Amino acid sequence: MKIMIDTNIIVSAALFPNGRVAQAFMKALLPPYIPLVCDYIVDELHRKFREKFPERVTELEAFLFHALTYIRVVPTPEEPINAETMIRDPKDRPILRAALNAHADLFLTGDKDFLESSITDPRIINVSTFLNMN
């Protein structure tokens, strides 16, 4: 089962390795899941850390070095699609586009723009729901 992991999940997992988000992140790396991120998310991670946590960029690099050995990085299509208009924040739309293009089954996020959308494919889930799944 393919699971796209959103930026906010990776940020929280990297900054708080003992938290619930990190538990969900680690679960997503294990079978039966096939973890995915898109190249847009990887770029966004670097940008966010440089802006908000410049003193921790080295930690992010180390985290990604290890995590990306387990996570497949998929391309973000440039051409907009109709489904992405269901996402309020235009900066999040490429992530949905990449998840759809990669045929993700699940999208793990803490972002309300995704969680409150009416998107059903992929299934958008939060950390609590994911941790409670069998």
Average pLDDT over residues 1-16: 95
Task: Name the average pLDDT for the chain.
Answer: 94
Which of 1-5, 83-87, 112-116 ranks highest by mean pLDDT? 1-5
This prediction's pTM: 0.94
Kindly report, residue by residue over 42-79, the tens digit of the pLDDT: 999 999 999 999 999 998 999 999 999 999 999 999 99
Q: Is the pLDDT of residue 86 over 90?
A: no
For residue 38, how many C-alpha atoms fall within 13 Å in the half-sphere facing its CB?
A: 24
SS (H, E, C) 19-57: CHHHHHHHHHCCCCCEEEEEHHHHHHHHHHHHHHCHHHH
Alpha-carbon span 88 to 85, nearest angstrom: 7
Confidence band for 30, pLDDT divided at 50, 70 and 90: very high
Measured between its terminal Cα atoms, the distance across the chain in Å is 12
Interstrand relation of 123-125 and 34-38 (parallel, antiparallel or unpaired): unpaired
